[in-house]
């Protein structure tokens, strides 16, 4: 009951204090009463994860870790897109120095989110392909609004999701389901995602999704925070360590992949398809 009241207060726009607007592409709002932080991505039109958005996400996660928030809810300011995943323009005809910085920052941001010491939840208020799905599955709980899609569609772009994308996916889905979905590059509707367990709940609006995420975070109210966070870290240690140990190799594989002419050709066609779709409407 207490948890429900806290989450209602948060969602109803109860007393809120804007702790930070420092970052250009993210905001952090911490509710004074509940202590839960809402981290909002705000890079129109689709929250494409470019170097700057990844940097802002990392610095917002650090801020939430540092200000003793009781939990983190990740969401988007767009009414229809949670995140379109990696900004393809970071990988298409890339400047290799920037590309290196981009992938290193993606690694850094993922380590911070997946390894966060506070309870994390994603209020998925729009489409969430690829890198968007990675962000959502790196959180501990997911609530999604109907009529959107989520999944790791890398194979559809002729790309291979790295091992750590798979780790986050596998922390949510059974191996058989995860393997099939990844091989197919399958995008799940909200209803399908609920059925397979890729999301935990559905909600009719962003506000309700945030309320449900807050209720999840509220379930830890009476649990010793240090015991909870060390337990979470033990569960995730092997996945985190695997990337930490292989960061350099992972970066080199990425740079090699994006420098392949066949991949560049495929990305060009994919981008063209996205743009043609816009013109048709
Ligand atoms: C052994 C292993 C080694 C491995 C090493 C290599 C590893 C490589 C791994 C690479 C991993 C990649 C993960 C990714 O995240 S790739 C990105 C995948 N994302 C997508 O496929 C999403 C594409 N977008 C869409 O499907 C739709 O845009 C949408 C998100 C459903 C939204 O649809 P909507 O109709 O609302 O919007 P538009 O389609 O009209 O888009 C508006 C404009 O935004 C541009 N756009 C969209 N998505 C992206 C993107 N991801 N990057 C860049 N730009 C994007 C779109 O072109 C429109 O632009 P315009 O206004 O200029 O026309």
The chain-wide mean pLDDT, for the chain, equals 92
Mean pLDDT of 17-36: 82
Mean pLDDT of 98-105: 98
Q: What is the largest CA-CA distance in the chain?
A: 58
Yes or no: say if 3 and 206 are a contact pair by the CB < 8 Å rule: no
pLDDT digits (tens, 9 = 90+) for 130-159: 999 999 999 999 999 999 999 999 999 999
Task: Say how many Å lie between the CA of residue 45 and the centre of ligand 1.
Answer: 11
pLDDT digits (tens, 9 = 90+) for 188-209: 999 999 999 999 999 999 999 9
Is 33's C-beta closer than 6 angstroms to any atom of ligand 1? no
**Mutate which of 41, 79, 84, 155 for ligand 1 pocket (most atoms within 8 A of beta carbon):** 84
* DSSP string for residues in 119-131: -EEEEE-SBEETH
Q: Given a cut of 80, is residue 5 above it in pLDDT?
A: no
Q: The pTM is what?
A: 0.94
ipTM above 0.90, yes or no: yes
Both tokens of 276, joined, read: 């043609």
Q: Given a cut of 80, is residue 278 above it in pLDDT?
A: no
* DSSP string for residues in 135-194: HHHHSSEEEE-SS-EEE--GGGGT----HHHHHHHHTTS-HHHHHHHHHHTPPEEHHHHH
Yes or no: say if 163 and 179 are a contact pair by the CB < 8 Å rule: no
Least confident among 16-20, 24-28, 267-271: 16-20
**197/63 Cα distance (integer angstroms):** 30
Kindly list the catalytic residues: 86, 131, 153-154
Interstrand relation of 26-31 and 36-41 (parallel, antiparallel or unpaired): antiparallel
Least confident among 64-68, 85-89, 132-136: 64-68
Question: First CA to last CA across the chain, in angstroms?
Answer: 47
Q: 23 or 165, which is more confident?
A: 165
pLDDT digits (tens, 9 = 90+) for 208-241: 999 999 999 999 999 999 999 999 999 999 999 9
Is 73's C-beta closer than 6 angstroms to any atom of ligand 1? no
Q: Given a cut of 50, is residue 7 above it in pLDDT?
A: no
State the pLDDT at residue 17: 58
Task: Tell me the CATH architecture of domain 4-280.
Answer: Alpha-Beta Complex (3.90)
**262/270 Cα distance (integer angstroms):** 12
Q: How confident is the model at residue 22 (pLDDT cuts 50, 70, 90)?
A: low
Both tokens of 218, joined, read: 């509220």
Is 280's C-beta closer than 6 angstroms to any atom of ligand 1? no
Is 87's C-beta closer than 6 angstroms to any atom of ligand 1? yes
Q: How confident is the model at residue 260 (pLDDT cuts 50, 70, 90)?
A: very high
State the pLDDT at residue 68: 87
Is 1's C-beta closer than 6 angstroms to any atom of ligand 1? no
Task: Say how many Å lie between the CA of residue 235 and the centre of ligand 1.
Answer: 31
């Amino acid at each position: 009951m207490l948890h429900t009241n806290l989450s209602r207060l948060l969602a109803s726009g109860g007393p809120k204090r804007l702790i930070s607007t420092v970052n250009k592409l993210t905001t952090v709002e911490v509710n004074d009463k509940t202590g839960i932080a809402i981290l909002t991505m705000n890079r129109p039109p689709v929250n494409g994860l470019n170097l700057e958005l990844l940097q802002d996400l990392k610095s917002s996660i650090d801020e939430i870790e540092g200000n003793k928030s009781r939990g983190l809810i990740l969401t988007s300011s767009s009414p229809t897109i949670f995140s379109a995943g990696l900004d393809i323009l970071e990988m298409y005809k890339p400047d290799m120095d920037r590309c290196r910085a981009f992938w290193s920052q993606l690694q850094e941001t993922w380590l911070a989110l997946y390894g966060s010491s506070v309870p994390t939840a994603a209020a998925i208020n729009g489409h969430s392909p690829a890198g968007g799905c990675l962000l959502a599955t790196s959180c501990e709980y997911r609530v999604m609004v109907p009529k959107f899609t989520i999944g790791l569609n890398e194979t559809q772009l002729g790309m291979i999701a790295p091992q750590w994308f798979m780790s986050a996916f596998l922390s949510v889905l059974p191996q058989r389901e995860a393997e099939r979905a990844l091989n197919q590059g399958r995008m799940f509707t909200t209803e399908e995602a609920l059925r397979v367990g890729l999301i935990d709940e559905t909600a009719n609006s962003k506000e309700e999704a945030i309320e449900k995420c807050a209720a999840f975070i509220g379930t830890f109210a009476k649990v010793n925070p240090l015991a909870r966070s060390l337990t979470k870290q033990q569960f995730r240690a092997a996945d985190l360590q695997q990337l930490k140990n292989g960061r350099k190799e992972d970066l080199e594989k990425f740079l090699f992949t994006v420098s392949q002419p066949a991949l560049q050709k495929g990305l060009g066609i994919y981008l063209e398809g996205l743009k043609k779709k816009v013109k048709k409407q």
